[in-house]
């Protein structure tokens, strides 16, 4: 049987070489992770800038249209306020209609009772 014998300095050198290789592979692996993350973040940043540019264009168009339509909005607001002022004058609420109808029916019932009383008195005489 052949037994391999190592001296202490050879064992230390072998272990240092092994751990250096593991460390080097770990560093290479971490560098690749970092590179992929950087590429991913750059892609996201580019997409964010494109999205920001898109929304900036949309908001600029809305502001431009808003300034042009400001007169129209003021006109619509005036018409709406006028309509709100005219509504109570021109329209009757349901509760008001029901109350008025009840009063009219009560008066008609009272008139009908008086007519019946007059008819009864005329038949008795």
Which tens digit of pLDDT belongs to each residue from 60-102? 888 877 777 777 778 888 888 988 888 777 777 788 888 999 9
Residue 31 lies in a domain: no
What pLDDT is stored for residue 1 in this prediction? 63
CB atoms within 10 A of CB 69: 13
Greatest alpha-carbon span in the chain: 153
Residue 97 lies in a domain: yes
Question: What's CA 4's distance to the chain center, in Å?
Answer: 75
Residue 123 lies in a domain: yes
Residue 109 lies in a domain: yes
Token pair listed for 96: 């008001």
Query: Is the confidence at residue 108, as pLDDT, over 90?
Result: yes
Helix (H) or strand (E) holding 91: none
For 114, the domain range is 93-125
* Higher-confidence position of 26 and 7: 26
Report how many domains make up the chain.
1
């Amino acid at each position: 049987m052949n037994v391999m014998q190592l001296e202490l300095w050879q064992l230390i050198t072998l272990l240092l070489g092994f751990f250096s290789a593991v460390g080097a592979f770990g560093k290479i692996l971490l560098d690749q992770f970092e590179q992929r993350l950087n590429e991913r973040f750059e892609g996201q940043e580019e997409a964010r800038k494109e999205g920001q540019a898109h929304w900036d264009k949309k908001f600029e168009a809305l502001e431009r249209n808003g300034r042009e339509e400001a007169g129209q909005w003021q006109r619509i607001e005036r018409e709406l306020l006028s309509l709100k002022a005219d509504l109570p004058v021109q329209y009757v609420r349901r509760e008001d209609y029901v109350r008025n109808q009840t009063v009219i029916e009560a008066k008609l019932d009272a008139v009908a009772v008086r007519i019946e009383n007059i008819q009864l008195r005329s038949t008795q005489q």
